Structure formats: structure tokens, C-alpha cells
């Protein structure tokens, strides 16, 4: 198999890699905020449940979570959710990354000075208005570098979908490497991920500069 043929075959899986990446962000970012709000709740049972879920999701391998979500329902309830494997893969990625985003959000929210809440109260803002109009915009600016790091990690973690034989780019590369007894497909995959991350880093860098307080 020529190098060009190899690249073309692996590129056919790039669409599925991108699907995992973008769908995970679509669901994990808002879900992470919801979990962060639960974690910071003054209702202790709610906060405790959220804390436990975050602990489990961050404390167990993503690979294990992929297997559990893809095959667990069948073994436990006899219900198959793995016919379209993109669904369980995105679910597993979303809940895993939501746990990490939740802790990033929580750290950003807790870093805000109490005086800002008090000033908003004096000005007649409700709790919801205070959070949405004053706190959240500042939190987003503060957590962008940490969120960027997680997004870069997500690009590489999409390769974990090979665990459940989802035909994304890395899975196809691994199959070619086995059939051709060659390491070249892994090098090609490395270039794909590197370029993907360069694009992500460039875009997020532009976003950070646009939202920065300290524009030159």
C-alpha cells in the first residue's frame, strides 16, 4: 500500500474523529456548568452527589467508561446501544469531560471576590442576573487557558474510541498498521493529531486575546 493510499484511507476516518470532538464539546461544556452549579449548591445532598460523580468520572479511566457505556446496558439490561457506536462514544466522552470542565468552572467561580456579589446586590441585581451578567463573563476569561488545555487533550483522547472498535481515524490507522506490518500509519496519525491541535490552539489563542482585559 502506497503512502498516499494509506493517508486517504485514514482521512476517511477523520470525519468521525471530528464528530467525536465537536459533539463532546457541544454537550460537555454546558453539562459541566450544570454539574459545577450542583457541586456548589448549598443543598448538601445535591453537592455530595455531584462531588461523588466528579470523583468517579475523574478517578476511573476513560477507556473503562467507554466500555461501560457501550456494552454495559446490554450485559445489565439486555438492551443494545452499540449499533451506532457514535452515540455511546459521545455519551462517554461528554460525561467524562463534563467532570473536568465542572471543576474548572467551580475554581473560576470560587475565585471571584465576594465584594462583586455584594456590589451587585446593592445595585439591585438578582442572584441570576449577578451570575449571568457580572460573574460568568469574568469566569470565562479566567478559565479559558484551562479549558483550552482540556480541549487539546480531547483532540488526542478521541483516539480512545478504538477501544470499542469505532472506525475513527486512529482505529483505521491501527488496522492498516496490523495488516501492512508497518509503523508508518501511526506516524501519519501523529501528524493528523498534531495539525488538528495546532488549529485548535490557534483558534483558542484568538479567542483568549479577544476576551483579554489587557489588549495592546
Domain assignments of the chain as residue spans, ordered by start: 3-211
- 196 vs 194: CA distance, rounded Å: 5
Answer for the pair 167, 13: CB distance below 8 angstroms, yes or no: yes
Q: What is the CATH number of domain 3-211?
A: 1.10.3720.10
Kindly tell me if the per-residue pLDDT of 33 is higher than 60.
Answer: yes
Q: How far is residue 56 from each of residues 51, 65, 83, measured CA to CA in Å?
A: 9, 10, 27
Report d(CA 33, CA 169) in Å as an integer.
30
Whether residue 136 is predicted with pLDDT greater than 90 in this model: the reply is no
pLDDT-based confidence at residue 208 (cuts at 50, 70, 90): confident
Tens digit of each residue's pLDDT (9 = 90 or more) over 54-100: 999 999 999 999 999 988 887 777 777 657 888 999 999 999 999 99
Least confident of 8-12, 44-48, 55-59, 148-152: 8-12
Among candidates 104, 96, 92, 130, which has minimal Cα distance to 36? Answer: 104
Query: 213 pLDDT band (50/70/90 cuts)?
Result: low
Confidence of residue 34 (pLDDT cuts 50, 70, 90): very high
What pLDDT score does 154 carry?
Answer: 94
Amino acid at each position: 500500500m502506497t503512502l498516499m493510499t494509506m493517508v486517504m484511507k485514514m482521512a476517511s476516518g477523520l470525519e468521525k474523529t471530528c464528530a467525536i470532538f465537536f459533539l463532546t464539546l457541544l454537550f460537555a461544556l454546558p453539562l459541566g456548568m450544570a454539574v459545577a452549579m450542583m457541586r456548589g449548591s448549598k443543598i448538601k445532598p445535591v453537592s455530595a452527589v455531584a462531588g461523588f460523580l466528579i470523583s468517579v468520572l475523574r478517578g476511573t479511566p476513560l477507556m473503562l467508561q467507554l466500555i461501560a457505556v457501550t456494552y454495559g446496558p446490554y450485559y445489565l439490561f439486555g438492551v443494545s446501544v452499540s449499533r451506532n457506536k457514535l452515540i455511546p462514544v459521545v455519551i462517554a466522552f461528554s460525561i467524562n469531560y463534563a467532570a473536568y470542565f465542572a471543576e474548572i468552572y467551580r475554581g473560576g467561580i470560587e475565585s471571584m471576590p465576594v465584594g462583586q456579589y455584594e456590589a451587585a446586590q446593592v445595585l439591585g441585581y438578582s442572584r441570576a442576573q449577578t451570575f449571568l451578567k457580572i460573574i460568568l463573563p469574568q469566569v470565562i476569561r479566567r478559565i479559558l487557558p484551562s479549558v483550552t488545555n482540556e480541549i487539546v487533550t480531547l483532540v488526542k483522547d478521541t483516539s480512545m474510541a478504538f477501544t470499542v472498535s469505532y472506525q475513527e481515524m486512529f482505529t483505521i490507522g491501527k488496522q492498516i498498521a496490523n495488516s501492512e506490518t508497518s509503523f508508518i500509519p501511526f506516524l501519519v496519525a501523529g501528524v493528523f493529531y498534531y495539525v488538528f491541535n495546532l488549529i485548535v490552539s490557534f483558534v483558542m489563542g484568538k479567542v483568549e486575546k479577544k476576551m483579554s482585559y489587557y489588549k495592546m
